[in-house]
Chains A and B, each alone.
Chain A
């Protein structure tokens, strides 16, 4: 662990932007989006709140070509779009989401498109010194700390910046851009960790119950009446899944070119809150109601996938809660379901 002065921190970032195709949080109208950085002043550092879309769009684009098939010979060729880019200022919640994606996409049947593209994307993270907005629950779900998913990570400490490297690429970046820096002594390290822990204590503490029991509670309260309640108001608009850094559901589409020579198979974002997602032949739908879809989505986040990957699959950014026009959000969901469990509210099926 090393540290550099604030002045050097800014110089380093400026140089990185100059040398690389760099993207980061930029203010659009009232909100932020990940966009191309021309200079450091484009980047929002201090007043960051989660961007409309997470950086996921660079790893896992809204729409991508997977395979091209020759109409006549039926020969298929894999298509992989990749580009050398740097993402600058990625926050802990989003870094945890990237690290989850890395695991999910290499699990079972590895996804070559994602993994190949991923190799070319450099992630430079920034720590959060304060809660970004009232929708966040990173502190509750444990994603304010980062273990992997980044190359370099900067954390403010006493008006200076502590640097962590998270990969070989990160070490190379460190050698190239930073080099001369102060190595933290053991005492300084302890102090840094202590100070960081103190500042996290001041974050939002809106989730009232201990998170570690969440999956068993969600299991036991599978038929909690709250699902019906929010199912009634849900617009089934899909905004929540589109803005989520950990949602990866997709649909396939084929498009033939105008000369009728090549068919391209495309992958596009889809989501479990939408009608066609669980639609099968004969117009049957496995999850026809908003209630069933919400139950499914949130059990994925806090139960099924949490158990599989041993970490919350909601990284707590709060984007969905902000985007939802009827204010369905993870903080209320956790508080209500866990609250109902602890206060002994009966399931639908027990009534």
Chain B
């Protein structure tokens, strides 16, 4: 029996679902090993008997909280895909402002017609079994995780920082040239694709399980960054973790 799989999106740009659909060559083989019962971006059927749920996007309304709780009840395995679902991504920034002001800024005097909440990644609302990070996700990593789950193993993604992967690629280091890069504190798995193309890593795959934040801040200070600028960079994708870090929670 092929496991039944569903995709659900919340507050996101749908780029991660598109990354999955971008697996053009592999897609046919993929549907031979799983049955997709719900995927708004790709099919019109809507099955509710799924076992594995892939969740894209963050939670930003009361209504979405109810919806994700319902999905959690049904799914044996709930896997978040992409930075929005995993770390909260930039919509998490609403947590750093007075929420009444945010609502007014976004909805003006129509705010009362909506039920927004401060944006949260999925794991702050329900239990998450596995996360595939990235903005967007790497389609091959997605495929790998699916195969690992189907084969009955525990999915594994790299636990080391982007720097290791960057060096494996033989890239010249941006930080060495005085260009900001969050590689030393960010989880690898993307093949250091940004640095490879001489763009800085903004940490879209979330913080690595292990890093040395104080020493890293010193490195950034040495290329001219001030505390505020450093924090602003971290908050782009990793606001939640930085908040936890500052409160001594991680």
Contact = CB atoms under 8 A, between A and B. Distances in A.
B107 interface: no
A253 B30 contact: no
A255 B212 contact: no
B171 A52 contact: yes
A260 B218 contact: no
B160 A30 contact: no
Contact of B167 (A52, A234, A290): A52
A83 interface: no
A115 interface: no
Interface of B, helix, strand, loop or mixed by DSSP: helix
A225 B135 CA distance: 42
B17 to A, nearest CB: 19
A235 B215 contact: yes
B35 interface: no
B210 interface: yes
A28 B172 contact: yes
B148 to A, nearest CB: 8
Interface stretch (B110-118, B126-134, B173-181): B173-181
Contacts of A142: none
Interface string A260-273: 10010000010100
Contacts of A31: 172
Interface in B125-173: 143-144, 147-148, 150-151, 153, 156, 159-161, 163-164, 166-168, 170-173
B236 interface: no
A210 interface: no
A184 interface: no
Contact of B177 (A30, A255, A258): A30
B216 A62 contact: no
A247 to B, nearest CB: 11
B209 interface: yes
A206 B26 CA distance: 55
Contacts of B245: none
Given A242-B164, A275-B159, A275-B209, A235 B170 contact: no
Contact of B168 (A28, A34, A269): A269
Contacts of B172: 28-31, 52
B175 A258 contact: no
B33 interface: yes
A255 B29 CA distance: 15
Contacts of A255: 144, 147
Contacts of B150: 260
B210 A236 contact: yes
Contacts of B99: none
B230 interface: no
B184 interface: yes
B156 A237 contact: no
B102 interface: no
A236 B211 contact: yes
B32 A259 contact: yes
A156 interface: no
Nearest to B219: A325
A324 B69 CA distance: 45
A276 B156 CA distance: 12
B218 A239 contact: no
A239 B163 contact: yes
A276 B159 contact: yes
Contacts of A53: 167-168, 170
A325 B209 contact: no
Interface string A110-147: 00000000000000000000000000000000000000
Contact of B29 (A57, A237, A259): A259
A274 interface: yes
Contacts of B175: 325
Interface in B169-224: 170-173, 175-177, 183-185, 198, 209-212, 215-216, 218-219
Contacts of B215: 232-235, 326
B167 A243 contact: yes
B212 A290 contact: yes
A256 B147 contact: yes
A258 B167 contact: no
Between A31, A238, A263, the greatest number of chain B beta carbons within 10 A of the residue's beta carbon is seen for: A238
A257 B33 CA distance: 11
B161 A256 contact: no
B171 A326 contact: no
A33 interface: yes
Contacts of A269: 168
A325 B160 contact: no
A237 B164 contact: yes
Given A236-B211, A255-B144, A260 B167 contact: no
Contacts of A257: 147
B40 to A, nearest CB: 24
Indicate the member of A241, A269, A274 with the most B CB atoms within 10 Å.
A274
Contact of A238 (B164, B176, B212): B164
B156 A253 contact: yes
Given A236-B211, A238-B167, A325 B144 contact: no
Given A236-B212, A256-B151, A57 B159 contact: no
17 contacts: A28-B172, A29-B172, A31-B172, A52-B170, A232-B215, A233-B212, A235-B211, A235-B212, A238-B160, A241-B164, A242-B164, A242-B167, A242-B168, A257-B147, A274-B159, A323-B173, A326-B215
Given A237-B183, A238-B160, A238-B163, 6 more contacts: A30-B172, A30-B177, A57-B170, A235-B163, A235-B212, A323-B173
